[in-house]
Chains A and B, each alone.
Chain A
Amino acid sequence: MQLVVIAVAAGLLVMAVVIFFLARSDDGGSSGPIKKSVSGNVQLTLAGVQNANAGAPATFGDDAASQIMTAVGQYVDRGLVVPVKTGKPATDVSGLFDAGTQAAIQGPDKDVLFESGTPALTGDFKPAAEPVIITALSDGNGQFVLATATFAYRADAGVEGGTLNTARTIALTFTPENGEWKITGYDVSLTRQGAQAEGSTTSTVKK
């Protein structure tokens, strides 16, 4: 009887240890928000941070990296995923950008920066993203003044006539504004292939 009790206790102990380490590897300790996906729709994680120091060596902090990753996740969710799912333009994205960028994101760049005008979904929608690389610049005093988040995003959307493949390479440059990291510049290139991309053989007139 005693042997059974000891065996069960030992088994429980082993299970507890395994669960403890599994939980740790999921959360990543104090840098959890960086290692976990910051998007509700896409596996979007941080690949790493490169420190560009204009003065003495300085390290971009986890909190700042988390803030930027959160903003990147919101950009992907609100600007790229939700518009395809709902068929409506991106909303609630202007707060991610600084004051000097507001006019530009409402202009012709809008349709590249955010998903818009894509055909209605008739099949599966599969978005995916490569891990994000942050390059952060500190000034001569060791203060980080600029940071760029670079990543690739792609999505396969089932639309009338087949699958529309969309790919974006995205670089969002952030600067602190009133204590928050805001997007102050961007470089986005967009490629579409497959059903309903201009130049492809499929086209649809919808009613």
Chain B
Amino acid sequence: MTARRHTVLLTLVGPPLCGVLLACMVMAAWVGVGLPLAKGETWFTIQQVPPVAGASFTSGQPDQVQFFLVVGNDSRDPNGVGLGDAIHVIAVNPGAKAASIIDIPRDTSVGGGGKVNSILANGGLGQFTQTISNFVGVPIKFSITTNFAGFTDMVDEFGGIDVNVQEPMHDQDSGTDFDPGLQKLNGPGALAFSRDRHSFSAGDISRTANQGYLIISALQNVQQRAVGAGGVLNLLGNLGRHVQMENVSFQELYRLSRLVLTIDPANIKNVVIPTGGGSGTNLSPGAGIDGLFADFRDDGVLQSH
């Protein structure tokens, strides 16, 4: 009698109970994974929105390796172009978010001729760019140069550059008077930092490396100040007032600037080319330079240097 009552109960209650359980499982699945119902309508949704998010984009940013040339010249005339005394080929690899700087000492003899720095004064920025492009073996897209007044004004208008000075620099000729440690350099100070070769046993090689290091420090300063998109335009205005440019528009500079500002300075290598003895004070390209240039040329990132 008891067993029969259980059977009747199961017969009556079982199917509806299973149906309810099945419906609950299906609904749970819909809620959990957001499966749409027929006709594309969502029956159950959990509507929560992410608390923070960001989006940043610049149209036309380069996606290939970019090579460009930055040259400091020694003209004291605010409108003049003198000897190319600070020569730096910069490569930016957008995919790797990395960059490299090849520093070329001013006394380097290129192609068996005299010092490379005179080509800027005698042939102009176009010829100088072509010479450096042939020497390094990379297609230099554009180049910029600035003189003493342009450089100091540019740094002062930027508000100075914080630089971590590695070694004592006390040199009357260039005007340095820096102890090791973090220093805020104004325009004349940054120029002195770039010109000092007497404070180092390696002379001009250390000076040339310092110039590349100053470029990286400047980038770090811009990143730390978080200038934003409008601030980048102000920086480009500052740059434009104090440099001569070849083969580049401000739109292109803006796109490149936005890209460079995403690169961690730790991912930028700064290498002075190897040099050997030459005639007089000339420096001839040294052993291993072909390997350095090949490493630089392939993707703009120095893997083995």
A-side residues, CB < 8 A to B, are 50, 52-55, 97-101, 104, 108-109, 111-113, 117-120, 133, 135-140, 145-148, 150, 164, 171, 173, 175, 184-193, 196-200, 203-207
Kindly provide the distance from the CB of A100 to the nearest chain B CB, expressed in whole angstroms. Answer: 3
Interface range on chain B: under 10, 10 to 19, 20 to 34, or 35 or more? 35 or more
Which residues from B are CB-within-8-Å of A206? 44-45, 47
Which residues from A are CB-within-8-Å of B251? 145-146, 175, 184
Alpha-carbon separation in the docked complex, A196 to B238 (Å): 45
Contacting A148 at CB < 8 Å: which of B47, B56, B233, B238?
B233
B-side residues, CB < 8 A to A, are 31, 43-60, 228-234, 236-241, 249-251, 254, 258
Alpha-carbon separation in the docked complex, A190 to B54 (Å): 6
Judge whether B229 and A192 touch: CB under 8 Å. Answer: no
Contacting A55 at CB < 8 Å: which of B56, B229, B240?
B240
Contacting B46 at CB < 8 Å: which of A113, A189, A191, A204?
A204
Question: What are 21 A-B pairs with beta-carbon distances under 8 A?
Answer: A52-B236, A54-B240, A97-B59, A100-B59, A109-B55, A117-B49, A118-B47, A120-B47, A133-B230, A137-B236, A139-B249, A175-B251, A187-B54, A188-B54, A192-B51, A192-B52, A197-B48, A205-B45, A205-B46, A206-B44, A207-B43
Which 10 residue pairs spanning A and B have beta carbons closest together? Answer: A54-B240, A100-B59, A52-B237, A135-B230, A109-B55, A112-B55, A185-B58, A171-B229, A137-B233, A119-B47
Which residues from B are CB-within-8-Å of A199? 51
Contacting B57 at CB < 8 Å: which of A104, A175, A189?
A104
Known interface pairs A137-B236, A146-B233, A196-B48; 10 further A-B residue pairs with C-beta atoms within 8 A, sorted by A's residue number = A50-B234, A119-B47, A150-B230, A164-B49, A171-B229, A171-B230, A173-B254, A187-B229, A192-B51, A203-B48
